[in-house]
Amino acid sequence: MAFNLKTRIWQTGALDWWAMLDNEDVYLGTREFPLPPEEGDEWHVKKTGDLFKVIDGEICRLGNKPYLGEAWLKDSLK
């Protein structure tokens, strides 16, 4: 078990993180993927808009919504 997760995860040579969720390869992101992933961590994948959270040692897909950027960045550009 990598990182004490029940979910099978791997990193590609391009530094992308992937997981096997419901017998499907799912993109978890690159820089947005928490290292090390711990219980309760949540992240939003910029490229796909997918939302994930670590619950009971498993990576769960919470849903999908467009990534609109970081709030702190938008505030600093005003």
pLDDT, tens only, 8-22: 999 999 999 999 999
Residue 56 has pLDDT above 60, yes or no: yes
29: CB partners within 8 A, 6+ apart: 16, 17, 43, 45, 46, 47
Task: Compare 55 and 71 and report the one with higher pLDDT.
Answer: 55
The predicted pLDDT at position 71 comes to 67
In the chain, where the domains are located:
2-76
In this prediction the pTM is 0.84
